[in-house]
Structure 1
Amino acid sequence: SNHLTFEYAGISFNNPDKVFYKFRLDGLENVWSPQRKEVEAIYSGLTPGEYTFNVKSVNENGIWNTESTNFNFIISPPFWQTWWFYMLCAFVTVVGIIGFVKAREKSLMREKAILEHKVRERTKELAEKNKEITDSITYAQNIQRAILPSINSIEKGYEDSFVLFNPRDIVSGDFYWYAEQNGKSYLAACDCTGHGVPGAFVSMIGNNLLNQIILEKNIEKPGEILSHLNRGVKFAFTQEGEQEAQDGMDMVLCVLDKEKGVLEYSGANNPLIFIRDGELEVLKNDRKPIGGDTPNDFAYETKIVEVKTNDHFYLFSDGYPDQFGGDKGKKFMMKRYKEMILIHHKKTMAEQLEIYRTELRDWIGIVHEQIDDILVIGVKL
């Protein structure tokens, strides 16, 4: 394409065969061609642009034209190399991109609307199911609270006492048990396997078994009561031909005979804190839980403490000392727990209850969460 042939002629009447030529194509070349006799110049593949073809001749005497003869011309580019074609392409491209983006946005909006509708429907379903579950758990909470002895009944038996009962969830795996039988007061703090609904089921079994053992069978010794309870829990979680479940509970049980001034107690993995004359003692317990892998025939020990006026004793689960919190996110720990009780034990039971609640709330703070059910029972004689 763009193939051009330039023809030219120099006139000499004396000797036309001695006429020679030089040419140059401005816009492509900067120097003259070698002297030649041919009367045509051929160019091919010229790119679009402005050009000037120059030619001059020399006669037999070596005299060149003072001025070259020139021819100006322009090679126009094909339409696809013109500025308006570029602009058209750019316009079409921009319009195409905008159209694609708009179409994609509409597609995404439709997909978003569909997903949002599905999410709303799913959220509605989950909310309904959650409400059903929450209502069921709340109903279970009402049942559990109906089973638990009232604080007033404990305060009647122990006039100077408090109960700090703080479940982690709606229902609790910790529970307390109280009854009066044959002139004696029975008080227990129990920590069942797990918390929430699973722990609550275990607590109901434990509560029912304590009613049977103490109130129906009239068993009085704390150690014997725990031994019967161990067998009952293991039986409750064992079905014929199946392996025993590892559910159970830690607990401490106290039996107070006010007339004789004797406190009998037995503990399954849970100790009893006893304070007299400003001295705190952690009364030992058997290192075996109720249920779980404890043998059926394990005999829990009954321990006896002679008590007097102004003695204090505290029953509790491990929820309070095991709670994470503080600036470093560590456990409250048993050492700090005992120090707190000893420092405040001379205050009224109502004051102690408020102090322990405040201390726990401050320890957990806004960063941490309660990790377990919490139960503390304090009694002053």
Structure 2
Amino acid sequence: MPHDDVTTPSVTTEQNNQEVLDVFGKHRDLASLPVTENDMPIGLINRAIFMSQMSKPYHRELYNRKSCIAFMDKEPLVVDAAMSIEALTFKAVEYGEKALADGFIIARDGRFLGIGHGLQLMRVVADMQAEKNRQIMHSIDYASTIQRSMLRPSREALARTLDDAGLVWEPRDVVGGDFYHFAAFEDGWFAALADCTGHGVPGAFLTLISSSILTQAIEQRGPRDPGALLMAVNRGIKQMLGQLDGNDETPGSNDGMDAAFFWFDNASRRLAFAGAKSALFVLQPGDEEGEIVDGERMGVGYVDTDLDFTWQNRFVQTQPGSVVFVTTDGLIDQIGGPKEIAFGKRRIRETIRGSRHASAARINEAVLDQYRAWQGHHRRRDDLTFFCFRVQ
């Protein structure tokens, strides 16, 4: 509870307005003067209002010798010294501007103790909020360390396995709801990009859950059937979050992810792809337009996704020089440009086609440059994750 370290000036109901004038004259920084009766606070005299009244013609002659209650606010905010800052803040806001402008009386066991000031209260609250924010940001920064540690093995495996590939992962906030997974095997490699519900800390929590379920599914089923892995992750998320038919353990919970899972066979260069509200863009050598390979229009793990929903595998026969690009919707949905519309898939395809002879990393840079130019002054809407590789 904030209050002055020095004794707070006050007057009793037995004192008159001349004595109030004397107190205000002695304490020129005093905005309000508490009034007590038998040590019990009963009112508050606002300096500005009091001086305005007493400066009117003949008011001094009329009121000087009268009790100080004449210009007293009879319903000031009185709070107990044991009240927490949080409770006091809500109380002061509920009481209105008067409590912040005039101050409030502090009492203990009903007896006058001192006076608190609105500005002082706001400073204390601001300091407390700043400390809370500092602690929260420290926790979020540590959460970012955990999330990046989770993703590091995949990024390192990607760098070791593919000579011409690029990955962009940029959370909208310090932590994000997108994640990726990459694992190499003797006969090929598996990759996944996923966009979990939400951003920031809630989204990051879901990435840890979903990534863990995916890792277990690969260990149990192997990496070569992306559709089956999507089914396994769907069941895992629904069971983990209690999002099953007739289950009310987590009311209001409806979380999941959109994802692209794919397996690349080294010998045949055939790509097996399964998508949950995700698609691949494939640009073959000699193909000027490129091909969109769509996944299923059903997300993973959500309440309205059946427990046994089947994601079909799509197969793409690639060849040396083929470029494959996949992204979460943070890139596609960003609002910008002169008409303030979504960036869209068409601009992505045009940028890739225009950079088709560059490295995969350079293609990503070109896409990112176009994205940022399109975004302009608009707020970033979502996490940003996309992956490009060229078949060797």
Superposed pair shares fold, TM > 0.5: yes
Matching residue of 1:198: 202
Aligned ranges 1:1-381 → 2 under 5 Å? 96=55, 114-148=117-151, 149-238=153-242, 242=249, 245-277=253-285, 278-292=288-302, 293-365=304-376, 367-381=377-391
SS of corresponding position for 2:290: strand
How big is each residue's C-alpha offset from its partner over 1:57-100, in whole Å with a ceiling of 9 and x where there is no partner? xxxxxxxxxxxxxxxxxxxxxxxxxxxxxxxxxxxx999259x9
How big is each residue's C-alpha offset from its partner over 1:19-50, in whole Å with a ceiling of 9 and x where there is no partner? xxxxxxxxxxxxxxxxxxxxxxxxxxxxxxxx
TM-score relative to the length of structure 1: 0.69
Cα gap change, 1:97/1:165 in structure 2, threshold over 3 Å: closer, same or farther? farther
CA contact (8 A) 2:361 2:388 kept: no
User: Separation in 1 of the partners of 2:100 and 2:259?
Assistant: 60
- Matched to 2:389, the amino acid is V
State the shift of 1:243 in Å.
5.7
SS of corresponding position for 2:320: coil
User: Separation in 2 of the partners of 1:296 and 1:110?
Assistant: 62
User: Separation in 1 of the partners of 2:227 and 2:154?
Assistant: 25
Gaps of 5+ in 2: 1-51, 60-70, 72-98, 105-115
CA contact (8 A) 2:178 2:193 kept: yes
- Matched to 1:180, the amino acid is A
Question: Size of the alignment, in residue pairs?
Answer: 284
Larger radius of gyration: 1
Q: CA RMSD in A?
A: 2.8
User: Separation in 2 of the partners of 1:209 and 1:238?
Assistant: 15
Higher deviation after alignment, 214-223 or 239-248 = 239-248
State the shift of 1:219 in Å.
5.0
User: Separation in 2 of the partners of 1:339 and 1:297?
Assistant: 37
- Matched to 1:121, the amino acid is V
CA contact (8 A) 1:188 1:315 kept: no
User: Separation in 2 of the partners of 1:375 and 1:327?
Assistant: 24
Cα gap change, 1:252/1:109 in structure 2, threshold over 3 Å: closer, same or farther? closer
User: Separation in 2 of the partners of 1:150 and 1:121?
Assistant: 46
User: Separation in 2 of the partners of 1:196 and 1:94?
Assistant: 56
User: Separation in 1 of the partners of 2:54 and 2:140?
Assistant: 60
CA contact (8 A) 1:181 1:215 kept: no
TM-score relative to the length of structure 2: 0.67
User: Separation in 1 of the partners of 2:133 and 2:250?
Assistant: 33
SS of corresponding position for 2:167: strand
Gaps of 5+ in 1: 1-92
Percent identical residues: 32
